[in-house]
Structure 1
Amino acid sequence: MEVLTRTAYHKRRRLWTKILWFGVLVIFFSFLTLSALVLYAYQMERPSLSVPDTTVVYSADGERIGEFHQGEHRYWIPLDQMGNTIVDATLAIEDRRFYDHYGFDPIRITRAALTNVLSGSKAQGASTITQQYARNLFLTHDKTWARKWHEALYALRLELHYSKKEILEGYLNTIYYGHGAYGIEAAANLYFQKNADELTYSEAALLAGIPKGPSIYSPFVDEERAFTRQHTVLRSMEEAGTLSPEERAGYESAPLTFASSQETEGKRVAPYFQDAVRQWLAEEHGFDPAMLDGGGLEIHTTLHSGLQKHAEDIISRELDPDHELETALVAMDPRTGDVRALVGGKNYTDSPFNRATQAKRHPGSTMKPFLYYAALEHGLKPNSMLKSEETTFVFDEGRDEYKPSNFNHRYADDYITMLQALAVSDNIFAIKTHFLLGFEDLLHTAGRFGIESPLEANPSLALGTSDVGVLEMTKSYSPFANGGYRITPRLVEKIEDRDGNILFEANMERKQEFNPAHTAIMTDLMKGMFEPELSASFGAVTGGSISNVLDRPVAGKSGSTQSDSWMIGYTPQLLTGVWTGYDDARFLESGDAAHSKQIWAKFMKKSLDGELKLSFPVPKNVTEVSINPANGLLATEHCPVSRPTLFYKGTEPTEYCNEHIGELEEETFETEGDSEDSPSGREDKKKEKWLDRFTDWIP
């Protein structure tokens, strides 16, 4: 037995006292250091939890049609909408003591550090969910001691400024699950085509195992490893008390059905329309493209998914995919301006160039309705007559000439009515009207209808030789269909953030720009292109080939140039414009021009099936009388064609046509002499010069 002397005893006692005090000082200074660290972390600003979040695009009927993102598919959802399965599985495999620590676990970190030192590697990890979340938000994934220190500091800041629920919610919305899917909602959609709260424990356990190594444990990469990892997660859930042994065994053997590779790539409906939405929001309404890509927005568009499918299907059947002929289609509600379908080409993958919004082409005779509306404002009427004949026009004080021609160089060589001229698209009648009104008049009128592209005030403007866009040209017909209101197209109804707050709501912009009486008369005139009875020896109505397709009131105008073919037409509830041509503006080949009308007619027919057959509105100051379209006089039972036609009240004809009554009656008229009202007198009157006749039409 050792016997200590008094001196030795006191030395040992002083030593233990020093050790005790040293320990107290270490604890004290550690506490001060920790307190200072906590105070330092607390006084630092609240760290932002903002991450790029996928913006989802919806159709007007609620279908998800696409998304905008920065390469990270992420749909932020509240923790309450994730379901218990993924929460239980994640906590069991990643951090069972999540609700008991303050962001990092010193014991786990020390144990992992010792293991790594002894093994000479950095393979062992002990990060909590909070640390992983901090790393995902602010740091790299390098395994260094400096990164670990910053990770712990950020984790402490998160714990001090946010609740456990907010941290867990943020973690599950940001963790990477492979194949571009960030967050559990994106992962559930990617692997199982369902929402997070619909996951079974088998599915949730498989997903919870992926973040440890997405390139290893993804079932799309290695299904066997994915299921091995799933079993590890399920055993952890059993150890945590979440599952019983029987439940764990049942979930291990439960079969899983994964999404196909096509579904994995995601569905994108109406890509041309979605590009137009991005452009419209950025250029017209000032949205930052970064906000659109990473703001986690919900964009509710005006697109009708059914009409869009009709348009794409009809175009795919009508146009040869191997042929270079291209097309564009825009369909909209003329009452509101809502764009219901938009196609910018045959194949977005081959050519994302959006011909509906980006291309500028010659509109041809689709400009004529603006011209004839201006003529109505100047006092011309549906039965006003000009002579259709080969004509050379001299202008610019005799310094220049313009010699237009009709299709196939066929002319009436007689006076024809505006009604018939528009139905057969007579160019001479249009150019004479253009000269009578003045070139600036059509330029101004087209601008009032919504043509914003620069136009040249020249003789050929009436025949559509200035470039315009397809969407631009189509929406400019809206006033004809809606009673004179100029409408601004809408592609988006509203935009919400991920919390449901409305960030943007598109107002319906309507302006009563035009006389409803004149737009009603113009619509009545444009119905003529579908009436074969208005055809004549010098020309057939331009819509005769599709007149039997539609079984409801419809109006419109076709147009063609050497390189472009157009068809724009409408009912009271649907306005559609179609263009076909070549991107390099080469001349159309034989048969190319027919496609625009066929696409238009088939689309209108399919889209309106089952809809009410609405009549075009007629104001009270407009009256309808039956006329002979060939001479514009009131029709009798003897006339071969009698066409009900609208007139502004007080301007309708009062003289009856007597050119087709019996021979006896004709002889009677002849004995009465060649009065101005007799057939011979009227024939002489018809031969008056067209400029003299124009002055007679002015009230």
Structure 2
Amino acid sequence: MTRKKKKRNIKKIILQIVAGLFLLFASLFICAMLLFLYYAYKAPKFDEAALRDQLPTKIYDKDDNLVTELQMGQKRERVKFKEVPDQLKNAVLATEDNRFYEHGAIDFKRLTGAVFSNVSSGFGSQGASTITQQVVKRSFLTDKKSLERKAQEAYLSYRLEQEYSKDEIFEMYLNKIYYSDGIYGVKTAARYYFNKDLNQLTLAETAYLAGLPQVPNTYNIYDNPEAAEKRKDTVLYLMNRHGRITKAEMEEAQNQDLSTNLVQRTAAQRQNLEQNDPKYASYINVIKQEIRNNKEFEGKDLQDILTSGLSIYTNMDNNAQTSLQNNTDNMNIYKNKYQQAASSIVDTKTGALIAISGGRNYKDVVDRNLATDIHPVGSTIKPFLSYGPVIENEQWSTGHRIQDEAEYDIHGIKFRNYDKQSHGLVTMRDAIRRSLNIPALKTFQAVQQEAGNDAPAKFAKNVGLNYKSSDLGPSDALGGSSSEFSPLQMASAYASFGNGGTYNEAHAIRKVVTQDNETINFEYNSRKAMEDYTAYMVTDMLKGTFEPYGTAYGSQIPGLNLAAKTGTGTYGDETYIKYNLPENAAKDVWIVGYSPRYTMSVWMGFTQMAQYGENSFVGPVEQSLPKELFRQVMSEISPIDGADFEMPDSVERSGGFLQVKGNPDNNITTSIKPNSNNETVRDDSRAVSNNRYKVIRSQPTTEEPATTERKTIEKPTTEAKTVEKPTTERATTEPTTTQPATTQPTTTQPATTQPASTQPATTQSPSSNSTRP
């Protein structure tokens, strides 16, 4: 009886233990499931967009030729499943997931072996990820090894296999895998390492590429050739073990040296894959700006946009872009690392951006684009604030005469020409081609008095030159104060003159085509900015810039009709004093010119002052360098066909000058009273003062020709005696090296008045009232 009772007790205990274990395992299972569900709930959203590979953006020129690609840090070329050779499929499957087509999202047989290994050797010692899991990890997750990440990986893998076929998942894998050196995708890797298509790879090369992604940097053949060879041999062994190649094929491939067909690359080449086409960097910078401003891409990250496989069709002229950047980089004129040049070229008729250089050796992201940055524009503003508005509103003829003066006082502020001389009565055409300051100021005042104080600002706004205030002062009219614009803006503005008065905003992109063949069009501003007679008459006057005594004389191109305006800008007075700079030193130098085909702007200057001011100014000879760059590039890109600007019916010639048809202009402007609105002359705060006097320098204060054309503006304070900053005087005779010695230009100025020199001759001692205190 006792023995039977004991047996029943033992059975009861066993049943209790079994039940306890069952409950324990059930509880653990339930806890595990709850934890799995919790982790799955926290998993990233199953977003199909995340499964798409980061594809490069392709850039096409105006002729729809592919010129470059934007990899955005990931060099990748996509391959479709049907293009993958069987040899590559076998190599990848044997290495990564031999039973891929037999199991589901998770290979439980392989997982079991990995679990025992992890228990004995520690978590993470052996992985069992399937190809599906690897796609999920690269699309949604990180490489962090944790239970949470593994649970999320399993959940998302099941989701992936519900949505896509095995072949589609295999294709995703081949395009997502990293192959070191910034290379993604097996097709890109084949070209990068061996310069071959996938179907041209040898078995040894295929095996290497199949094994490289496991530890890409360790197996990189450039850094570790021995490790690369061993990895190749391992993959070949696995292919033979799983019956995907014969032993003879394995041994033959193992004896092949991978370096036989390897593309030789230097360390620098491997690190700068994104800089293969530096000549396009400035243009690409503008493309990015236009992408950001397009409403179709509003709120999207630029990195995501440019890695979505876009095709961007631009207005770039490949030859012009190459010419411009090469000439900018290779000019032997730079004094120090702060001296720079920037330029823009647009189509005169359409405003299409043909070429752009943001600076010498420009690198996108690293450098500021100096062609889209603003700079003081100097006298290049005169056609927009003085001469254009007066023709538009008052219909002055190009022969309208203006009384020039050696010194012009506007309520205590004294303005002068670059040579401090009076040139008597000068025609408007002569005044602009020689860039005289006083006639420009008087014309500016005449426009404000007759057409309204805001008339100059309105005219400038119509061509894309927007001022914060429409109440402009004399220093604005000479390129100082708030007259600061970019080379790109100036090119578009001047193109309006060459285009019969129609303004077209500069634009790089014609259209964008997405990976799904959706076309996104880009809009830009286009409007009538002025009357056609204004555009043509200003153009005719600016053609004189290339004539004798013009500020760009010597830069003309035979067979090419050009119109242009030059400009010069200076530092503030405090900088001249602090660094003891010479009077003829300039900070900014410009030329903006156009033909019936192209409009080109060139700015040269300094991004900052070097220590002690060393070599941080442009001297007299160097101030002609923008004109040299303009001439060189325009000569290389322009058709020399003699095409000229077409005179509209609204214009007629009279006595060698142009006038609005039916509106003869015989007036002579001898004096203009300052407008009451100009009582306060803004000087951009570029002033220096002491207890004896105050000198105010309008920015810029001089203008052409080859030397600094900078006027000194003085304003007496408590002292009755006027003291001005000394300048370098100019000889009144023309140097024979750049100008005709005896031929005088046709003007209405008195016979005794000589035209200003375009080169410095001798330096005169400043007079007593020109000494520095």
State TM-score, norm by structure 2: 0.69
Q: What value does the CA root-mean-square deviation take over the aligned residues?
A: 4.0
Distance 1:104 1:592, change over 3 A: same
Distance in structure 2 (CA, Å) of the matches to 1:407 and 1:47: 67
Q: Does structure 1 residue 346 correspond to structure 2 residue 357?
A: no
The residue that corresponds to 1:372 in the other structure is 387
SS state at 1:50 partner: helix
Deviation larger for 113-122 or 130-139: 113-122
Alignment of 1:264-663 (within 5 A): 264=270, 265-266=272-273, 267-269=276-278, 270-283=280-293, 285=295, 286=298, 288-290=300-302, 291-292=304-305, 294-321=307-334, 323=336, 324-348=338-362, 352-377=367-392, 378-394=394-410, 400-413=411-424, 415-438=425-448, 439-454=453-468, 457-465=472-480, 466-502=483-519, 504-532=520-548, 540-547=549-556, 549-562=557-570, 563-584=587-608, 587-608=617-638, 613-623=642-652, 633-634=655-656, 646-651=658-663
Q: Does structure 1 residue 260 correspond to structure 2 residue 265?
A: yes
Of the three residues 162, 165, 171, the one matched with 2:164 is 162
Q: Deviations over 1:537-595 (max 9, x none)?
A: xxx21111212x45311111111122211110112221110101122376533433111
In 2, are the aligned partners of 1:550 and 1:605 still within 8 Å (CA)? no
The residue that corresponds to 1:129 in the other structure is 131
Q: Residue 192 of structure 1: CA displacement?
A: 4.5
In 2, are the aligned partners of 1:281 and 1:287 still within 8 Å (CA)? no
Deviation larger for 506-515 or 417-426: 506-515
In 2, are the aligned partners of 1:452 and 1:472 still within 8 Å (CA)? no
In 1, are the aligned partners of 2:457 and 2:466 still within 8 Å (CA)? no
In 1, are the aligned partners of 2:433 and 2:541 still within 8 Å (CA)? yes
Distance 1:297 1:616, change over 3 A: same
Distance 1:623 1:243, change over 3 A: farther
Deviation larger for 257-266 or 286-295: 286-295
| 2:331 partner amino acid | E
Deviation larger for 318-327 or 162-171: 318-327
Q: Residue 476 of structure 1: CA displacement?
A: 1.0
In 1, are the aligned partners of 2:560 and 2:640 still within 8 Å (CA)? no
SS state at 2:326 partner: helix
In 2, are the aligned partners of 1:192 and 1:259 still within 8 Å (CA)? no
Of the three residues 92, 112, 115, the one matched with 1:113 is 115
| 2:287 partner amino acid | V
Q: Residue 470 of structure 1: CA displacement?
A: 2.0
Distance 1:496 1:124, change over 3 A: same
Distance in structure 2 (CA, Å) of the matches to 1:205 and 1:405: 79
Q: Deviations over 1:132-181 (max 9, x none)?
A: 22222333434556644443333222111222232122222222222333
**In percent, how many aligned pairs have the same letter?**
27
Distance in structure 1 (CA, Å) of the matches to 2:388 and 2:82: 60
Distance in structure 2 (CA, Å) of the matches to 1:389 and 1:432: 10
| 2:436 partner amino acid | D
In 2, are the aligned partners of 1:336 and 1:508 still within 8 Å (CA)? no
Of the three residues 61, 65, 68, the one matched with 1:62 is 65
Distance in structure 1 (CA, Å) of the matches to 2:658 and 2:204: 71
In 2, are the aligned partners of 1:104 and 1:128 still within 8 Å (CA)? yes
Q: Which runs of 5+ in 2 are unaligned?
A: 1-13, 571-586, 610-615, 667-746, 753-773
Distance in structure 2 (CA, Å) of the matches to 1:683 and 1:490: 43
| 2:115 partner amino acid | A
Distance in structure 2 (CA, Å) of the matches to 1:200 and 1:322: 54
| 2:214 partner amino acid | K
Distance 1:62 1:649, change over 3 A: same
Alignment of 1:33-112 (within 5 A): 46=46, 48=48, 50=50, 53-60=54-61, 61-67=64-70, 69=72, 71-74=73-76, 76=78, 78-80=80-82, 86-112=88-114
Distance in structure 1 (CA, Å) of the matches to 2:593 and 2:748: 36
Q: Residue 105 of structure 1: CA displacement?
A: 1.6
Q: Residue 508 of structure 1: CA displacement?
A: 5.0
In 2, are the aligned partners of 1:337 and 1:490 still within 8 Å (CA)? yes
Q: Residue 381 of structure 1: CA displacement?
A: 0.8
| 1:471 partner amino acid | L
| 2:662 partner amino acid | G
In 1, are the aligned partners of 2:57 and 2:306 still within 8 Å (CA)? no
Q: Residue 274 of structure 1: CA displacement?
A: 2.6
Distance 1:561 1:127, change over 3 A: closer
Distance in structure 1 (CA, Å) of the matches to 2:264 and 2:290: 34
Q: Residue 445 of structure 1: CA displacement?
A: 0.8
SS state at 1:93 partner: helix
SS state at 2:57 partner: strand
Distance 1:531 1:47, change over 3 A: closer
Distance in structure 1 (CA, Å) of the matches to 2:188 and 2:299: 25
How many residues of Structure 1 are paired with residues of Structure 2 in the alignment? 601
In 2, are the aligned partners of 1:55 and 1:292 still within 8 Å (CA)? no
The residue that corresponds to 2:697 in the other structure is none
SS state at 1:476 partner: helix
In 2, are the aligned partners of 1:337 and 1:508 still within 8 Å (CA)? no
More helix by share: 1
Distance in structure 2 (CA, Å) of the matches to 1:386 and 1:82: 79
In 2, are the aligned partners of 1:56 and 1:64 still within 8 Å (CA)? no
| 1:386 partner amino acid | I
Distance 1:683 1:160, change over 3 A: closer
Q: Which runs of 5+ in 1 are unaligned?
A: 1-14, 395-399, 533-539, 626-632, 635-644, 655-681, 688-699
Q: Residue 253 of structure 1: CA displacement?
A: 4.5
The residue that corresponds to 1:12 in the other structure is none
Distance 1:56 1:47, change over 3 A: closer
In 2, are the aligned partners of 1:176 and 1:183 still within 8 Å (CA)? yes
Distance in structure 2 (CA, Å) of the matches to 1:145 and 1:284: 44
Distance in structure 2 (CA, Å) of the matches to 1:599 and 1:621: 35
SS state at 2:101 partner: helix
State TM-score, norm by structure 1: 0.76
Distance 1:427 1:82, change over 3 A: farther
The residue that corresponds to 1:661 in the other structure is none
Q: Residue 206 of structure 1: CA displacement?
A: 2.2
Distance 1:273 1:319, change over 3 A: farther
Q: Deviations over 1:102-156 (max 9, x none)?
A: 1222112223333444556754333221122222233343455664444333322
Q: Deviations over 1:495-548 (max 9, x none)?
A: 33333333x32135422232223212222221111122xxxxxxx21111212x
